[in-house]
């Protein structure tokens, strides 16, 4: 398989999994086990492609926030998006500076997939007992920011799953409201992560050594597939629970543990 074809497949996988609560990073790392490892910069930048997709998919909501900021409710919502992003940045940067790197083995990802699936089943049922609440509180904003950091430290957790279910448990029990807020917070979060990774490469003088052709192909594929997925998901969760995604996580994680040799 050529490097460009592998990059195309990885971009499609990223676009398909970034917004579904099944862990895009976990799926990318597992795919790279067979398609060849890629640097962290590759993984971060193609995630930015998926975030560009959600920016396009949510452009009416973004436009409403940009043009309606004089309205107290719009200004309050926008401030909560900013707070969630700042919490992620202020907590996540020290983790990055401490030298954290993605794991090279599949086993911890498999466990994170299974445990996360069980947690999703329990959390959604618990959230449903709190009634149908669409409001995003300041507590929700802070906890969503922290959830994003936790998901970044433990691949297989899923940023969208961790943040959406944290929002639902903290008070925003309506699925589509929690998902929309998390996706909006993800826009500055992932663009900032990509920008930071690029600045690190510039500082190391390593920009010219990156596989830019592969990155571009994967970025485009992630954008196109991510746009389709986020449009579908926001409609799907208005009528369905997350149970199917949780079952998939548990089954996929168990399958990985059965098929992969110990320590791989």
Nearest alpha carbon to residue 160 among 49, 21, 17, 1: 21
Q: What is the pLDDT of residues 226-238, one digit of tens each?
A: 999 999 999 999 9
**Predicted local distance difference test score (pLDDT) of residue 166:** 95
Least confident piece of the model among 15-29, 68-82, 196-210 = 196-210
Residue with the two structure tokens 């990055």 = 96
pLDDT band at 208 (very low <50, low <70, confident <90, very high): low
Taking alpha carbons only, the member of 64, 59, 60, 65 closest to residue 80 is: 65
pLDDT at residue 31, as a whole number: 87
**Cβ-contact 45, 259 below 8 angstroms:** no
Q: Which helix (H) or strand (E) holds 65?
A: helix 59-67
Look at residue 101 and tell me whether its pLDDT is greater than 80: no
**pLDDT number for residue 199:** 82
Confidence of residue 97 (pLDDT cuts 50, 70, 90): confident
State the first-to-last Cα distance of the chain, in angstroms, to the nearest integer: 22
Residue 106: what pLDDT?
A: 83
Average pLDDT of the chain, as a whole number: 88
- ∠ CA 125-126-128, nearest 5°, is 65
Say yes or no to pLDDT of 201 above 80: no
* pLDDT tens-digit map of 24-73: 878 887 888 788 888 777 877 788 888 899 999 999 999 999 898 789 99
Please write the tens of the pLDDT for every residue from 63-86: 999 898 789 999 999 999 999 999
Question: What pLDDT is stored for residue 103 in this prediction?
Answer: 63
Burial of 94 (0-12, 13-18, 19+ CB in 10 A): exposed
The better pLDDT of the pair 59, 200 is held by: 59
In whole angstroms, what is the distance from residue 69 CA to residue 134 CA? 19
Q: What is the pLDDT of residue 12?
A: 95
């Amino acid at each position: 398989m050529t490097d460009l074809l592998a990059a195309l497949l990885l971009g499609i996988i990223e676009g398909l999994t970034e917004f579904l609560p099944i862990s895009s990073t976990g799926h990318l790392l597992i795919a790279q086990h067979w398609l060849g490892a890629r640097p962290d910069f590759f993984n971060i930048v193609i995630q930015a492609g998926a975030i560009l997709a959600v920016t396009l998919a949510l452009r009416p909501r973004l436009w409403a926030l940009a043009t309606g900021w004089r309205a107290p409710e719009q200004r309050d919502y926008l401030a909560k998006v900013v707070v969630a992003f700042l919490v992620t940045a202020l907590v996540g940067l020290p983790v990055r500076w401490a030298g954290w790197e993605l794991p090279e083995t599949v086993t911890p990802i498999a466990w994170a997939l299974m445990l996360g699936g069980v947690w999703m089943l329990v959390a959604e049922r618990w959230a449903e007992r709190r009634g149908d609440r669409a409001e995003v509180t300041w507590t929700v904003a802070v906890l969503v920011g922290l959830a994003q950091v936790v998901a970044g430290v433990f691949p297989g957790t899923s940023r969208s799953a961790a943040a959406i279910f944290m929002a639902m448990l903290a008070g925003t029990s309506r699925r589509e409201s929690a998902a929309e807020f998390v996706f909006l917070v993800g826009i500055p979060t992932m663009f900032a992560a990509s920008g930071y990774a690029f600045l690190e490469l510039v500082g190391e003088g390593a920009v010219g050594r990156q596989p830019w052709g592969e990155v571009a192909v994967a970025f485009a594929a992630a954008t196109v597939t991510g746009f389709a997925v986020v449009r579908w998901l926001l409609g799907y969760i208005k009528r369905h629970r997350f149970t199917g995604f949780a079952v998939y996580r548990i089954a996929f994680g168990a399958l990985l543990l059965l098929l992969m040799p110990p320590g791989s």
